[in-house]
A and B are shown apart, each in its own frame.
Chain A
Amino acid sequence: MMEKELKDFILMMADNVMILGQRLGEWCGHGPVLEQDIAMTNIALDLIGEARNYYRYLGETEGKKEDEYPMKRDVRDYKNVLLAELPNGHWGDTIMRQCMFDCYHYYLLEGMMVSENERLAAIAKKSIKEATYHLAFSSEWVIRLGDGTAESHHKMQQSLQNLLPYFNEMFDPETYEIWCQNRNIAPSLEDVRSSAMEKFNAIIVESTLQMSEKYYSKKGGKTGLHTENLGFILADMQYLQRSYPGVEW
């Protein structure tokens, strides 16, 4: 039987990439140009693929199907960070959100590669190749738009301002994360924070944007206290399983 703390941690890892992947999927057919439309859905599929690896792991230990976790849990049981569920906004908003998440995701996976939990270490080793590309993609777009025209610079500054309150939640450990850190299952979030912040600050400097010092940090997602957005995402995602329980493809 898997300990509750470990299960919560795996759910958080899975839900983060599941919900962000679902969000990015909304760009399908709506990207600013064909090439970026495909880029967004590629990233979405990478993230959902990673999520499936976690759900499958949980399913194997609990004797459930992997679909049970994304399709049969309600808002309060989801453990994703608030950043992941925020609406896409305009292209710049999506890119800024992605860049923030990628900074966290990349360095977290880097730490997870040496996890005492071999299954999680294996998933991290597979996923970090994708995360490396995601971070390169999103950071280059932040720099391109931040250091672009006056209008793109202004919009990106606004995106940064709007999203900063959701940045710290990723690095503030909940009890189940501390439990995992103490057992060398997960890396220290303080280490992840310092690497991710250093990277993110360098991107912001290069993009000529201003890092704000004054902002409130919001949190709650990791313990199931979500913004109103998540309910709508789940309604979309889970409609079929809720209306026709057990239906198969």
Chain B
Amino acid sequence: MNDWPLYEVFIRSKNGLNHKHVGSLHAADAHMAIQNARDVYTRRSEGVSIWVVEAKHITASNPDDKESLFDPAEDKVYRHPTFYELPEALKHM
């Protein structure tokens, strides 16, 4: 069982919300990963839907590219929608 692949687990906590990454686990195949995720990550009613994906299928950004990927966004405040006057009638924004 030591050579079981690693799966990443995503749980949707309520209908309408996104699946969120909650952790990872080992399983022999995707089906077992769902069962294991049910037992490990939803035992306190955390979710209504589970996604699993084998960790090797996730392509991640390289931490070394952090500066070129993310820093350029820092001084572009005009990309945030904070320059609008909201009408009085509009609440909860």
Which of A's residues lie within 8 Å of B, judged by CB? 32-36, 38-39, 42, 133, 136-137, 140, 144
8 additional contacts, CB 8 Å, given A34-B40, A39-B35?
A33-B26, A35-B39, A38-B39, A133-B38, A136-B35, A140-B31, A144-B28, A144-B32
- 7 residue pairs from A and B, CB less than 8 Å apart: A33-B4, A35-B26, A36-B36, A38-B40, A39-B35, A42-B39, A137-B35
Roughly how many angstroms separate A230 CA and B8 CA in the complex, as a whole number? Answer: 42
Determine the chain A residues whose CB is within 8 A of the CB of B40 once the complex forms. Answer: 34-35, 38
Contact B35 A33 (CB under 8 A): no
Cross-chain contact B1 with A32 (CB below 8 angstroms): yes
Does B76 sit at the interface, judged by CB under 8 A? no
Count of inter-chain pairs, beta carbons less than 8 A: 29
When the two chains form their complex, are residues A39 and B36 in contact, meaning their CB atoms are under 8 A apart? yes
List of B residues within 8 angstroms of A33 by Cβ = 1, 4, 26
- Kindly list chain A residues whose C-beta atoms are within 8 Å of the C-beta of B1: 32-33
CA A140 to CA B34, docked complex, whole Å: 13
Binding site for A on B (CB under 8 A): 1, 4, 25-28, 31-32, 35-36, 38-40, 43
| A interface majority secondary structure | helix
- Alpha-carbon distance between A218 and B71 when the two chains are bound, in angstroms: 73
User: Could you tell me the distance in whole angstroms from the C-beta of B29 to the nearest C-beta in chain A?
Assistant: 9
Q: Would you call B26 and A42 a contact (CB within 8 A)?
A: no
State whether A42 touches B43 (Cβ < 8 A): yes
Chain A residues in 8 Å Cβ range of B31: 140
A34, A38, A140, A144: the one within 8 Å of B43 (CB): A38
Rounded to whole angstroms, the CA-CA distance of A36 and B39 in the bound complex is 8
List of B residues within 8 angstroms of A144 by Cβ: 28, 32
In the complex, what distance in Å separates the CA atom of A36 from the CA atom of B4? 13
Question: By the criterion CB–CB under 8 Å, are A140 and B28 in contact?
Answer: no
- Chain B positions within 8 Å of A32 at CB level: 1
B26 partner residues in chain A, CB cutoff 8 A:
33, 35
Closest B residue to A35 by CB, please name it: B36
- Nearest 5 pairs of A and B residues by beta carbon: A35-B36, A39-B39, A38-B39, A33-B1, A42-B39
CA distance A137 to B38 in the complex (A): 11
